[in-house]
Amino acid sequence: MRRFDLVLPNNLEDCLKILAERGAQAKLVAGGTDLLPQMKNGVLRPAVVVDLSGIARVRQVQNGNGLRIGAAVTARELEVSSALRGAYLSIAESAALVGSLQVRNLATVGGNLCNAAPSADMAPPLVALEAQAVIAGPGGERRVPMADFFTGVRQTVLAPNEMLIELVVPPPGAHSGGQYLRHTPRRELDIAVVGVASQLTIADGRCTKARIALASVAPTPVRATAAERSLEGQAVTPEAIERAATLAIEAARPINDQRGSIEFRKHLVRVLTRRTLTTALLRANA
């Protein structure tokens, strides 16, 4: 890596001060699992790197009325957290898929989201669960719905003097279940060719809320809104699932790249949407 200054703030306030002064030339590092490879490739060349590992505030998971996840909670912590059971299982599932164990012990949910790769695994479940991003800046805190957090490939709503500090996941209600699945050529050390998170909330045998979020088929994670609408208010039958799976393709605008072709990605959107909806239904009814 090229040389840089390293700052080691001990608390959030000091960190925000640094960002206020030097945010434009700075990068935050938590797990480093996306940042360091990009710095080693020369894609990113920050003059300043700000280490978050000394800031306790961003490292906690709380399950009360809804879920609060500190931005620097690691993927491994999420993978094994007892707080992420039941309706929140898809978050743990997505975290469990990141890289390898050696990477998951470092990688953070905040880093995964702020790096904002189209393939970010932890984004679709958080979008499907309607999480909110809590952002700290010079003027205090603000909240942005997860679905609006991403603005383009590797781009988010964060200004250079802001940082993501927490995710707030509202309680999804009784009888809600979800799943995150992705397709990769290998079982480990891999990256999503397509990822799908489905979340269904059921009442009286009908779907009251459906959320389907897709990764790796657009510049940002996207919601398959046509598919969602086709399910809401209906009984979730296999036919309804199949119809939704087909409609989900409409939300996908994939590209051909070294990981997959447009044709294959659209095909996978259908397959993974079908599979995650089927499991989401089972989990919602459990």
Partner 1 sequence: MSTMKTTRDVKGVGVSIPRPDGPEKVTGRVQYVADIPAKGLLHAKLLRSPHAHAKIVSIDTSAAKALPGVRAVLTAKDIPHLKKKAPTRAHAVLAIDRVVFMGQPVAAVAADEPSIAEEALDLIKVQYQVLAPSVDPLKSMLPGAAPVADAGTEADTSEALAHSAVAIAKSETPAKAVNISQQARLQRGDPAKGFAESDHVLEKTYRVPMVHQGYLEPHAVLAEWDRNGLLTLWASTQGSFNTRSEVADVLGIPENRIRVIPVECGGGFGGKIRALCEPITAVLAQVTKRPVRYVMTRREELQAGMPAPQVIIKLKTGVKRDGTLMALDAETVIDSGAFSGAVLAVSAVFLGSMYKWPSFDIRGFEVLTHKPSVAAYRAPVAPQTIFAIESHMEQIARDLDLDSVEFRMRHLIEPGDPMVNGQPWQSNGAKQVLSRIAEHPHWKSRKQWVAAAGKNGKRRGVGLALGGWLGGLQPTGATVRLNPDGSLAVLTGQVDIAGTNISLAQIAASAYGVDTDLVRITTGDTDVAPMTGLSAGSKTIYTVGAAVLQAAEDARRQTFEIAAAELEASVHDLELVDGKVTVRGMPDKGITLATIGKKGNLYMSKTPPVLGKANPAFTQQAPGFAAQLARLEVDPDTGEVTIQDFVIVQDVGKAINPLGVEGQMQGGAVQSLGIALTEGLMFDDSGRLTNPSLLDYRKLTAADLPNLETIIVEVPAPAGPFGARGVGEPPIIPAPAAIANAIQNATGARLTELPMSPERIALALVNGKQ
Partner 2 sequence: MAKQILSCTVNGEPVEVLVQPYVTLLDALREDMGLTGPKEGCGTGDCGACTVHVDGRVVASCLMLAMQARGRKIRTIEGLASADSTLHPLQEAFVRHGVPQCGFCIPGVLMAAAALLEGNPRPSEEEIRYGIAGNLCRCTGYTKMVTAISEAAGTLASQRSAR
237 makes contact with partner 2 (CB under 8 A): no
Residue linked to tokens 């189209």: 118
As measured in angstroms, the least distance from the Cβ of 272 to partner 1 is 8
Nearer to partner 2 by Cβ, of 53 and 225: the residue is 53
Name the one range near partner 2 by CB under 8 A: 26-34, 115-123, 132-140, 156-164: 26-34
Neighbouring residues of 174: CB distance < 8 A, sequence distance ≥ 6: 203
**231: which 2 tokens?**
């399910």
56 binds, among partner 2, partner 1, none (CB under 5 to 8 A by kind): none
**48: which 2 tokens?**
């300043």
Q: How many residues bind partner 2 (CB under 8 A)?
A: 28
1 makes contact with partner 2 (CB under 8 A): yes
148-207 binders of partner 2 (CB under 8 A): 187-189
105 makes contact with partner 2 (CB under 8 A): yes
227: left (phi over 0), alpha (psi -120 to 50) or beta: alpha
As measured in angstroms, the least distance from the Cβ of 233 to partner 1 is 28
Partnered with residue 278 across adjacent β-strands are none
268 binds, among partner 1, partner 2, none (CB under 5 to 8 A by kind): partner 1
As measured in angstroms, the least distance from the Cβ of 187 to partner 1 is 4
65 binds, among partner 1, partner 2, none (CB under 5 to 8 A by kind): none
Beta strands 66-70 and 132-137, pairing class = unpaired
For helices 262-285 and 238-248, the axis angle rounded to 10 degrees is 140
| Binding interface with partner 1 (CB under 8 A) | 1-3, 37, 40-42, 183, 185-191, 193, 257-261, 263-264, 267-268, 271
261 binds, among partner 2, partner 1, none (CB under 5 to 8 A by kind): partner 1
42-71 binders of partner 2 (CB under 8 A): 49, 51, 53
The residues binding partner 2 (CB under 8 A) are 1-6, 8, 29, 31-33, 36-37, 40, 49, 51, 53, 76, 99-103, 105-106, 187-189
